[in-house]
Amino acid sequence: MNLRTTSVAFAASLAFTLAAQDVPDSLNMIANGDFEQLDGKLKRLGGIEVAKGWESPTEVPADLYSETVADGSPSYVPKNAHGFQGALSGQNYAGILGYSYMDKDPRSYLEVKFKKMLKKGQLYCIRYYVSLSDLSKYSSDQLGAYVSRIVVKKRDESSLTYQPQVPALLSKVYDDQEGWTGICGVYEAKGDEQYLIIGNFTATDKTNAQKARRPKGETRPQQTNAYYYIDDVSVTPIKRMSECSCEQLDETKTEFIYGVKVTSDPNIKPADRLDRSTIYFKRYGSAIDGSMNGLLTNLVEAMKADPTLKIKLTGNIDGIEVDRSRLRPDLSELDTERAEAVKTFFTNAGISAARITTGGNKGDSPASDGTDEISMSKNRRVEVSVVK
């Protein structure tokens, strides 16, 4: 596939299930949760205040990264001063230092004001996505969200010591360097909260830090800290806790979605943009996850660019789904249901159904023979092929 791509595995927190849907801007209490709205020009690290509405609550500035800056800049996406990562959505994301060995380096935090004061007694689903940077020598389990009544503005570099309200349990070590891990939780408002702060609020000696590997191909030295990229922050009102989808996972469920972040080259032919592209799914699911929208939109644009192209969509399932389908008739057509879901995305975007055929391979053509979750996540997929 002649595309400049970053392969990533999107993984929701193993402690919680995240809702598989985009958050409408009208419902999100955060005006610029994806860091796409800029007020000024990003020139260097520490530029979080260029992202409209965002700031640092201490004297240690958080970072902003963007595809719009020059390639080679320490703030560039995907390759920057802390590693290599594509944005979960759009072109931008933020970055904070969550842990430092023996407190060698001060922590940084993200702070943003809600569109309006939270409503007393209202439940809110707080959700954000994190990715451990490639050059982090450590990973950490303390990366929470604190809801505040007043703006926090400390005139020093000391760490914040508030009690985060989300997530309810800070027990998972966030160590994924390839993809984005979702963190979510439900917060019941007191009625006068106006700000959200994200970071590590726990003392260093109570922070569970673990050694992180250096990704293959990365030759730059690792730093003695845990540095995290942050994207897609949302705070949305809900009626029931289940709407935030934070129930405990059972042993057979998984939220791993293996995917490909694509930065398309305008010189690539539409057929090459489409052929051998892959859309991935959560286990037992046929719904299109929000993390796939960027790739699918790119493929729709390719179809529109060349109206003569026709494609075939082939659905696949993983080994666990194969075994479970023997006991659950509702899963017997999951492979073709996934292909049909992708076809619906295309037709809803204006592509003629006559240009698209669908089919399924069950579990007969695995992309990976591994039995770990990330390997199996590669098999829950729909493959796109151009019909000659």
Distances (CA, A) of 202 to 176, 183, 207, 385: 21, 17, 6, 49
pLDDT tens across 76-128, in order? 988 899 998 878 778 899 999 999 999 999 999 999 999 999 999 999 999 99
Domain spans of the chain?
18-244, 256-386
Q: Letter for the amino acid at 302?
A: A
Dihedrals φ, ψ of 273, to 5°?
A: -70, -30
For residue 29, is pLDDT > 50? yes
C-alpha angle 147-127-82 in degrees, rounded to nearest 5: 95
pLDDT tens across 313-325, in order? 999 999 888 887 7
Please tell me the total number of residues recorded for the chain in this structure.
388
- CATH 3.40.190.10, applies to 18-244: no
pLDDT tens across 224-258, in order? 999 999 999 999 999 988 788 643 333 344 556 77
pLDDT tens across 178-209, in order? 777 888 889 999 999 999 999 999 999 999 99
Contacts of 158 (CB under 8 A, 6+ apart): 58, 106
- CATH 3.30.1330.60, applies to 256-386: yes
What is the percentage of the chain residues whose pLDDT exceeds 70?
Answer: 88
Q: Is 58 exposed, middle or buried (0-12, 13-18, 19+ CB in 10 A)?
A: buried
Helix extents (H) in the chain:
270-274, 293-305, 319-325, 334-348, 373-377
For residue 296, is pLDDT > 50? yes
Helix (H, G, I), strand (E, B) or coil at 33: coil
Selection from 16-25, 164-173, 184-193 with the highest mean pLDDT: 184-193
Distances (CA, A) of 85 to 22, 78, 128, 182, 257: 21, 5, 16, 15, 16
Q: What does the pLDDT read at residue 259?
A: 57
Helix (H, G, I), strand (E, B) or coil at 221: coil
